[in-house]
Structure 1
């Protein structure tokens, strides 16, 4: 083994060993944000408002589709009495109405539509509050990372001593209320 290859081998071994030691010294924790949100009255109120608005919009769109169906039925009933030009005009009008309803549906329920914006308006401040409390809990417990077990992260095994959900609830002032009520 040459002196240069020995130095490369030594440096590689040193950095591998150093990275292993630093990995072992890192501390991780996890929280269940779905559970935390379910314990937040303001989140439940926001969800109720979002559901109410969503149902109103769905009902409005359904009524517009019923109106279009009524126009189709009326056209079918009067079809034998209409000239080809009159029938085409009505069909064109009905198609225009259908397109308007589809556009409105996309405006409300589509990507970054009105429902998305309303959810963002109502829920984002609450999520920020949870993230801020999680960051404080992480700093207080000297954690390098906190995972959300209710997200896409799959946890095969979790040791309850690393579950900091209760700490975040306490930081939000929610856990203390429950203890007082017991």
Structure 2
């Protein structure tokens, strides 16, 4: 009897909820496509590319200074006393550590490039989200999905695509509806590869007293990095 009552209550609940579910409207937009149409977003990407390239050049310059320190040490090692050798080794190791720290500060997780990207793109993203919210309210949408996000959409019915309405809200509507925006550097900024830095220029395990070191960083045996 209890089981029958449970089934009856479940059936009643489904009957009550069905019209409400049918009344709910949903849609999706392509936020990447929308931002690719916005001049402010393209300008932000270009600025990020310029900053990234300048930071990369700075790191390369520091790497050249490190290489010069090592070459000078290698050329003068035979005439240096042990205390002088240790001092020069410490200078090389310090320079190596400074380069790594600077590289991480710029390109590492939540580094300056990451923060600058947030600073430049957040106003554009906020503008897009506000436009999406306005469209959702006008079209009485209960849910709006982002086609370019992590959500995997195996099939999308164009009838539920509200991307063009968001573009209209932003004043960017095109006569050709939903034509793909130009892809490329304007849409994304690729964080540069870590430069072939100090750990390629110098090795860490060379004995401190080697008279003819290979292309490695001389360091005292007792020193730990």
> What TM-score, normalized by structure 1, do the two folds share?
0.89
CA distance in 1, matches of 2:57, 2:129: 35
How many angstroms does 1:128 deviate by? Answer: 0.5
2:210 counterpart residue number: none
1:39 counterpart residue number: 37
How many angstroms does 1:134 deviate by? Answer: 0.5
1:74 counterpart residue number: 72
- Cα distance, 1:137–1:87 mapped onto 2, change above 3 Å: same
- 1:29-80 deviations in Å (ceiling 9; x for gaps): 1111111111100110011001101111111011111111121122112222
How many angstroms does 1:116 deviate by? Answer: 1.3
Structure 1: 5+ residue stretches without partners: none
2:95 counterpart residue number: 97
> What TM-score, normalized by structure 2, do the two folds share?
0.73
- Cα distance, 1:107–1:142 mapped onto 2, change above 3 Å: same
* Matched residue SS, 1:111: coil
CA RMSD of aligned residues (A): 1.6
> How many residue pairs are counted as aligned between the two chains?
175
Structure 2: 5+ residue stretches without partners: 176-225
CA distance in 1, matches of 2:147, 2:121: 19
* Matched residue SS, 1:49: helix
CA distance in 1, matches of 2:103, 2:115: 14
CA distance in 1, matches of 2:29, 2:4: 46
* Matched residue SS, 2:27: strand
How many angstroms does 1:19 deviate by? Answer: 4.5
- Cα distance, 1:68–1:17 mapped onto 2, change above 3 Å: farther
Which of 63, 72, 81 aligns to 2:61? It is: 63
